[in-house]
Amino acid sequence: MIVINKIEDLRKIIKKEKLEGKKIGFVPTMGYLHEGHLSLIKKAKSENSIVVCSIFVNPTQFGPNEDLEKYPRDFERDKFLLEKEDCNILFYPTVQEMYPDGFFTKVSLNVLTGKLCGKSRPGHFDGVATVVTKLLNIVAPDNAYFGLKDYQQLLVIKRVVKDLNIDTNIVGCPIVREKDGLALSSRNVYLTEEQRESALSLNKSFSLVEGMLLKGVKDANKIKKEVIKYIEGFRFTKIDYVEIVDPETLETIEEINGNFLMALAVFVGKARLIDNNVFTIN
Ligand code: PAF
């Protein structure tokens, strides 16, 4: 695997590979890799001839009181894991390389970003949309892979790619969970052992919803209330949001009569955890 820090160096290599007819798969990350990221690399490996992974903790997607400084980082470990997965190129730019002095452009959406995480983290999705647009322009991949744990992020990126005619196929990949159901996240490292128990309430609440649906409950607010009560019953939890929304538009649903997304954001101790599930109604 080669490690590249400069945009122009990466561009030259990609151009050469493309001239040789190679298909490029891309996995953008903020590092501190876990099995979720590695599942994206594996999928990219199986569908492309060259796999590029980027590690860049993007400052523009963090709010002023968020964990940018503390965000976990371990470059040597990440490099080792990527080498084991036979990743071909690791793009590891500096902040100055990605946002040189005089950088003034922002990619901003008028839809999808005012809800869920976008509501709690103003400006977050502008930061994501901007950096992903830049990365896709730099790498120019045939396919780019994103996890469904960041469901809203995936919808935002698909929308940007469609609206700005970016020539990359966006592939959404399933959430990877620990054996006990906890969704993998780089931020799980913030959890103490006791808090980790409470973190399971997010995933467990999906079974609670299944049970209510089986009993014929259709009132989305009733379901939300039960989920909130359930999660608040665990120590260390503080709910940011519990929402039931349309899986495509993210519009709030009042009455359940078709597929829906339940999306959660919950602070467990210092960690802000997100999880989601699409419920299919036959
Ligand atoms: O999901 C992430 O890790 C980040 O939001 C991404 C897509 C790499 C952009 O910084």
Check pLDDT > 90 for residue 262: yes
Type of residue at 235 = R
Percent of the chain whose predicted confidence (pLDDT) is above 90: 99
Ligand 1 geometric centre to CA of 30 (Å): 6
Check pLDDT > 90 for residue 263: yes
Separation CA 66–CA 71 (nearest Å): 9
CA-to-CA dists, residue 10 to 2, 4, 7, 72, 220, angstroms: 10, 6, 5, 25, 48
* Axis crossing angle, helix 151-163 with helix 124-139, rounded to the nearest 10: 60
Average of per-residue pLDDT across 2-11: 98
Check pLDDT > 90 for residue 275: yes
Q: Is 174 exposed, middle or buried (0-12, 13-18, 19+ CB in 10 A)?
A: exposed
Question: What's the pTM?
Answer: 0.98
Which mutation among 153, 158, 274 tests ligand 1's pocket best, with the greatest number of atoms within 8 A of CB? 153
Instruction: Dump pLDDT digits (tens) for 152-190.
Output: 999 999 999 999 999 999 999 999 999 999 999 999 999
Instruction: Dump pLDDT digits (tens) for 139-153.
Output: 999 999 999 999 999
Domains in the chain and their CATH numbers? 2-173 (3.40.50.620), 186-276 (3.30.1300.10)
Q: Give the pLDDT score at 282.
A: 80
Give which of 129, 133, 171 is closest to 153, Cα–Cα.
Answer: 129
Instruction: Dump pLDDT digits (tens) for 98-138.
Output: 999 999 999 999 999 999 999 999 999 999 999 999 999 99
Atom of ligand 1 nearest to the CA of 135: 9
Q: Whose CA is nearest to atom 5 of ligand 1?
A: 128
Separation CA 237–CA 195 (nearest Å): 8
Residues with CB under 6 A from ligand 1: 28-30, 58, 61, 128, 131-132, 150, 153
Q: Whose CA is nearest to atom 8 of ligand 1?
A: 29
- Write out the catalytic residue numbers: 37
Ligand 1 geometric centre to CA of 267 (Å): 20
Atom of ligand 1 nearest to the CA of 29: 8
Mean pLDDT, the chain, whole residue set: 98
Atom of ligand 1 nearest to the CA of 58: 10
Q: Give the pLDDT score at 18.
A: 98
